Amino acid sequence: MSDLPTGTVTLLFTDVEGSTSLIREVGDRYGEILDEHRRLLRGVVAGHGGHEVDTSGDGSFVAFASARDGVAAAVAAQRAMAGHSWPGDAVVRTRMALHTGEPRRAEEGYHGIGVHLAARLCQAGAGGQILLSSSTRAVVADDLPDGVTVRDLGERALKDFDQPQPVFEAVIEDIGTAAVGTAAAVRVVLAEDSVLLREGIARLLEGSGFEVVGQVDNPDDLVRRVGFAKPDVAIIDIRMPPTHTDEGLQAARRIRERHPQVGVLVLSQYVEAEYATALLSERTERTGYLLKDRIADIEEFTDAVRRVAAGGSALDPAVVAQLVGRPRRDDPLGELTAREREVLELMAEGLSNRGIAERLVVTERAVEKHVTNIFAKLGLTATAEDHRRVRAVLALLGSG
């Protein structure tokens, strides 16, 4: 690998989205599809001066001396794959991500935080997307391939990174929105002892662009699978074998202790205030508690899974209502107005200021003013915005 570029290098990571479901669909023909996928990608990479660093499963790691060449190669590869006739008429969608930096050379390639950033950025994408780090976007801002524009996706929480990272997307105009997804590709482990329900949720998630990397029916296998697969979120039935009481809740606690970057979304047949309080007693970030009936609303359910995976919270409105309605000897929320309390309840569900504004049909500036008043009245003035939101929600739910 002595010919790999050095100095400022642009790293490209690629990965086939939903490969597990694709294998189920095509069976033994997946090997043929993977061979064609690699042939197409390698041809494009070679034509743009790229160097293949590594391959793993259905993913590739490529280096370019020029950011412009790296982006052009990714665009050409997406166009080639979108127009390719795959064996068995399979639908093959590849997510891609690029980061520009100065990685350190290793005996077998590169190492450093930039390598991890490019890999995690790729995992955050959806099939058909090309995501760019801020450094790549800055370099190619005025030198994009024909028919390509850049869209600012804002900041996203990436696995293993403490702070959200700015993310941009290279949009290929002639492929169209049908081939270029916008939803984050989230890796999920699913724990549910009912086979029919578990398979139903898995198919729903995979059909919505998620990657289900594990399905289990008991809490011990769940914890082991999370440790092995390193998902973004674990979706857990609160009642699991052997006693069908709170095994799922206990497994969620073990996961949070051992893998704090993995979100936990607990599903329950009905509101169980004691269990919900126990789940929320330490933190609300990367935490969700939904009633199983909520799964029927696919958009709402998948949005909740993404929020938890990205570091937010997702609490069922029925859970919030029951916890808020419990009698308390000393109510820390006594000074809040009815509207401020309403805003805080929506905050507890996991909505952003924009989401709250849309729900209440008010301006985002009005919501910001209410949030500021809430923080002041609860005495939450000395910490960062995100932490104050968590503390305010805990005060609402009576957990902090």
CATH of the domain at 384: 1.10.10.10
269 and 121: one domain? no
Tokens of 67: 């950011």
72 and 22: one domain? yes
150 and 208: one domain? no
Range of the domain at 65: 9-172
371: Cβ contacts below 8 Å, ≥ 6 apart: 343, 347, 353, 389
- The reply to whether 311 falls in a domain is yes
Percent of the chain whose predicted confidence (pLDDT) is above 90: 38
Residues in the chain: 400
d(CA 150, CA 190): 35
298 compared with 157, residue with greater pLDDT? 298
Total structural domains in the chain? Answer: 3
Residue 141 confidence (pLDDT): 87
81 and 119: one domain? yes
Half-sphere CA count of 355, side-chain side, radius 13 A: 14
d(CA 353, CA 231): 28
pTM over 0.75: no
Spatial contact of 77 and 31, defined as CB atoms under 8 Å apart:
no
311 and 193: one domain? yes
**pLDDT tens for residues 172-188?**
877 743 333 344 468 99
120 and 155: one domain? yes
If DSSP codes are grouped into helix, strand and coil, which group holds residue 141? coil
**pLDDT tens for residues 27-74?**
888 889 999 999 999 999 999 999 999 988 789 999 999 999 999 999
Half-sphere CA count of 36, side-chain side, radius 13 A: 18
- The reply to whether 178 falls in a domain is no
Spatial contact of 95 and 106, defined as CB atoms under 8 Å apart:
no
- The reply to whether 330 falls in a domain is no
């984050």: which residue's tokens?
184
159 and 206: one domain? no
CATH of the domain at 278: 3.40.50.2300
- Angle at the Cα of 231 (from 229 to 233), degrees rounded to 5? 145
229 and 343: one domain? no
**pLDDT tens for residues 320-339?**
777 665 555 666 677 888 89
